[in-house]
């Protein structure tokens, strides 16, 4: 079974439609995904080759219960152990994996769970990524907040008690350029203790500038580490350049950011191989940049506006839990964020095992926080990137996490 | 004869308890119980965690009368540690500071070289400086020179509960350094805390060992007892331990006459 991603909007011109269809049907009409655009910095890092070689050699069906048992008996988790824990042979050991993951989490993080919220400031996008609600051919309401509107949103969010914010944009370098994002970071520093970014990948110097504006964490989702699949999903735009995206975290660290986040979007390709590659991406970069902080996310595909059929395919909750436990056991020091794509019940449960960071009061739309927080109608809002599942407010999340025996933490960070 | 009180003196301040409690890994509501049951007079807290708005500030949960020991976790070099220490002072955390400088996010091992630099600068600014360090005698001597009020060697990687992995080197610090040696990080069990105290450590700092226990206040009490027992044993002077066999009843030197 495969997802059906292609949806034609009636509003597209004949020319646009023809181009869209050509991109979808004729692979030769698409740019080489390995070829950088001229403005893209190339850093020649060996990390990518190591990660991809390991992923391609990964035969998860070759692992048995004996390998899984051996992995769980090891005090530290080797790369081979991690491969066993990700394999189908480990699924019957899920409860044991969860117990081990919980122990590692408590050793490194105690019973704390960090709360944050994302703020989308623009949804313009120049990419055609077939599964994403913001893709340039999708008929949605587009909006970019100006400085005043951004500040208004931040005030509403800050009033809820939130102290950590993640700023997001669609991937339009022309509409949402680096200085626009930098100004948003400066505003965010006024209202929040901790500012993270989830924007299109940029060069080292741009990361340095954004760091100086107040951002200290950069998250870039690779979506899938399977280049062949990636090429069929990201048909147009800067995002199509797969290696430039892969190297984003490294450029961010070179630009002075304290921490970086990683993720594959599960459901796009073979999830076990993507999970392996994601963790190895962290593993090899940690060896190269030992001072940096690392975090992982584990999003699954969700329905979008105009396509409610998109789903995470074979990645069920048990599989998701297995991946997250394996991540925790292999990379006990890494933060793990679980998105509002997942249900409240799943997030409550996983926070007690291995997640360290949970979003609350989430909107993936633009300029609609007041409407969503207080019910007050707002004149112009932009449409959502994807449907969320867990809609709890900060207050509700705080109370629920405390009721689960966890200590919610709004800030554990200093900009120095 | 009047019994002399056995106090831990750090930077001119005297403490009766030799158990320093961490606060960052368990629920805020448990801090007070942990402090009480541990009999702790010093509680550490991360400045970055205290750097929060009014809602649920960790500072609000630390009982009155307890000396705060703010730490500089999050600092990656001496400059950052100095800035964080100054912020601690501004936040009203007092003059004590525990220097933690890490350039490694995986094991959180301290950077000794940067720690010496930060110690010197902060001691000059009037802080009571307690540096967390990897147990190295030369570094410990440099820390004394730099103006440290105590030296805090790690027993094992932080959070690992692995016990006295660096025992031999901690013993060297205890034997050679005139400041209080406070064993920090890695202590997983009361018996290990007791052992370090028997060796002559001045105090024990623990966080994860309590946070990962089934019953936190009870474990806090267990550590309190173990630390007190180890201290008494140290003061009493441990009896000898024979490495093999029994003591010879006929001394080898029994033939000597004058």
ipTM of the complex: 0.82
**Is the pLDDT assigned to residue A197 strictly greater than 50?**
yes
* pLDDT tens digits, one per residue of A335-392: 999 989 899 999 999 999 999 999 999 988 888 888 888 877 766 788 888 888 999 9
CATH of domain B18-236: 3.20.20.70
Q: Quick check: A411 and B51 CB within 8 A? A: yes
Q: Under a CB-based contact definition with an 8 Å cutoff, are residues A178 and A199 in contact? A: no
pLDDT of residue B1: 47
Cα gap A273→B242, rounded to integer Å: 58
Q: How far is CA B164 from CA A232, A310, B183, B185, B226, in A?
A: 55, 54, 9, 9, 15
| A57 in Cβ contact with A79 (< 8 Å) | no
Phi, psi (rounded to 5 degrees) for A49 = -60, -40
Q: What is the pLDDT of residues A125-137, one digit of tens each?
A: 999 998 888 888 8
Average pLDDT score, chain A: 93
* pLDDT tier, B248 (very low <50, low <70, confident <90, very high otherwise): low
| pTM value surpassing 0.80 | yes
Residue pair B195/B222 in contact (Cβ under 8 Å)? The answer is no
Query: Mean pLDDT across the stretch A212-240?
Result: 95
What angle is formed at CA A396 by the lines to CA A404 and CA A380, rounded to 5 degrees? 145
Binary contact (A291, B24; C-beta < 8 A): no
Q: Reply yes or no on whether the pLDDT at B54 is more than 70.
A: no
pLDDT at A242: 96
Q: Which residues of B are annotated as a binding site for 1-deoxy-D-xylulose 5-phosphate?
A: 159, 185-186, 207-208
DSSP A37-80: PTTS-----THHHHHHHHHHT--GGG--HHHHHHHHH-SS--HH
Q: Pick the residue with more confidence: B133 or B252?
A: B133
Closest chain B residue by Cα to residue A403: B27
Residue B101, pLDDT above cutoff 90: yes
Residue A39 burial (CB count, 10 A): 9
* pLDDT(B246) > 90: no
Residues of A contacting chain B (CB within 8 angstroms): 103, 106-112, 161, 163, 193, 286, 290-294, 333, 402, 405-414, 416
Domain boundaries, chain A: 14-409
Nearest CA in chain B to A110: B25
Architecture of domain A14-409: Alpha-Beta Barrel (3.20)
User: What is the token pair recorded at A168?
Assistant: 């997001």
Q: Which residues in chain A touch residue B99, judged by CB atoms under 8 angstroms apart?
A: none
Least confidently predicted of A5-9, A144-148, A402-406: A5-9
Give how far A413 is from chain B: nearest CA, Å.
5
Among chain B residues, the shortest Cα distance to A292 is held by B105
The pLDDT assigned to B2 comes to 52
Q: What secondary structure does DSSP assign to A315-347, as a single string?
A: --HHHHHHHHHHHHHH-TTSEEEE-TTS-HHHH
* pLDDT, tens digit (0-9, with 9 covering 90-100), for B125-144: 999 999 999 999 999 999 99
* Backbone angles phi and psi of B34, in degrees to 5: -65, -45
Provide long-range contacts, Cβ within 8 A and 24+ apart, for B234-240: B234/B197, B234/B198, B234/B199, B234/B200, B235/B6, B238/B198
Work out the average pLDDT over A391-404. Answer: 93
The model's pLDDT over A317-337, given as tens digits with 9 standing for 90+, comes to 999 999 999 999 999 999 999
Split at pLDDT 50, 70, 90, the class of A118 is very high
Is A106–B25 a contact, with Cβ atoms under 8 angstroms apart?
A: yes
Interchain pair A410, B52: CB under 8 A: yes
The DSSP secondary-structure symbol of B101 reads B
Alpha-carbon distance of A81 to A67, in angstroms, equals 7
């Amino acid at each position: 079974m495969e997802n059906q991603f292609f949806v034609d909007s009636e509003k597209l011109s004949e020319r646009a439609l023809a181009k869209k269809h050509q991109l979808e049907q004729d692979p030769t009409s698409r740019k080489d995904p390995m070829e950088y655009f001229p403005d893209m910095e190339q850093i020649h890092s060996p990390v990518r080759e190591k990660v991809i070689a390991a992923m391609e050699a990964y035969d998860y069906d070759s692992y048995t219960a004996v390998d899984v048992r051996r992995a769980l008996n090891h005090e530290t988790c080797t790369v081979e152990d991690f491969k066993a824990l990700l394999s189908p042979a480990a699924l019957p050991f899920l409860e044991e994996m969860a117990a081990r993951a919980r122990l590692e989490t408590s050793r490194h993080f105690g019973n704390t769970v960090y709360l944050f919220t994302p703020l989308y400031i623009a949804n313009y996008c120049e990419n055609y990524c077939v599964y994403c609600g913001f893709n340039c051919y999708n008929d949605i309401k587009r909006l970019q907040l100006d400085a005043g509107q951004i500040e208004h949103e931040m005030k509403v969010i800050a009033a809820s008690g939130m102290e950590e914010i993640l700023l997001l944009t669609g991937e339009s370098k022309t509409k949402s350029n680096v200085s626009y994002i930098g100004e948003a970071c400066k505003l965010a520093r006024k209202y929040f203790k901790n500012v993270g970014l989830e924007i299109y990948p940029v060069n080292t110097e741009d990361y340095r500038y954004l760091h100086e504006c107040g951002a200290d964490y950069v998250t870039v989702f690779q979506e899938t580490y399977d280049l062949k699949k990636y090429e069929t999903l990201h048909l147009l735009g800067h995002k199509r350049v797969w290696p430039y995206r892969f190297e984003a975290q490294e450029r961010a660290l070179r630009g002075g950011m304290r921490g970086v986040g990683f993720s594959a979007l599960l459901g796009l390709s073979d999830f076990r191989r993507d999970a392996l590659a994601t963790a190895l991406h962290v593993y090899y970069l940690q060896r190269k940049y030992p001072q940096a902080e690392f975090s992982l996310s584990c999003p699954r595909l969700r329905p979008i506006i105009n396509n409610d059929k998109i789903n995470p395919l074979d990645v069920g909750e048990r599989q998701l839990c297995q991946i997250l436990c394996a991540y925790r056991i292999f990379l006990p020091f890494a933060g793990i964020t679980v998105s509002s794509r997942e249900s409240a019940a799943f997030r409550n449960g996983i926070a007690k095992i291995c997640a360290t960071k949970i979003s609350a009061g989430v909107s993936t739309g633009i300029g609609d926080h007041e409407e969503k927080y207080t019910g007050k109608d707002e004149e112009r809002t932009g449409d959502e990137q994807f449907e969320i599942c867990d809609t709890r407010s900060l207050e509700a999340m705080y109370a629920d996490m405390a009721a689960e025996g966890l200590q919610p933490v709004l800030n554990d960070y200093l900009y120095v | 004869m009047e019994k002399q009180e056995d106090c831990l003196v750090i930077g001119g301040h005297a403490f009766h308890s030799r158990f320093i409690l961490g606060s960052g890994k368990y629920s805020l509501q448990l801090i007070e119980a942990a402090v009480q049951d541990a009999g702790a007079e010093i509680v550490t807290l991360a400045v970055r965690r205290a750097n929060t708005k009014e809602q649920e500030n960790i500072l609000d949960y630390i009982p009155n009368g307890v000396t705060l020991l703010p730490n500089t976790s999050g600092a990656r070099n001496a400059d950052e540690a100095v800035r964080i220490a100054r912020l601690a002072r501004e936040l009203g955390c007092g003059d004590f500071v525990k220097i933690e400088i890490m350039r490694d996010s995986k094991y959180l091992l301290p950077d000794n070289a940067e720690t010496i630099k930060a110690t010197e600068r902060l001691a000059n600014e009037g802080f009571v400086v307690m540096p967390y360090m990897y147990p190295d005698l030369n570094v410990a001597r440099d820390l004394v020179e730099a103006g440290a009020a105590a030296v805090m060697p790690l027993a094992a990687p932080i959070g690992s509960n692995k016990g006295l992995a660096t025992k031999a080197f901690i013993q060297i610090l205890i034997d050679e350094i005139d400041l209080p040696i406070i064993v920090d990080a890695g202590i997983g069990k009361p018996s290990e805390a007791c052992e370090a105290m028997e060796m002559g450590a001045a105090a024990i700092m623990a966080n994860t060992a309590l946070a990962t226990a089934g019953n936190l206040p009870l474990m806090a009490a267990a550590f309190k007892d173990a630390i007190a027992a180890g201290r008494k044993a140290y003061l009493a002077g441990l009896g000898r331990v024979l490495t093999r066999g029994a003591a010879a009843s006929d001394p080898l030197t029994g033939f000597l006459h004058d």
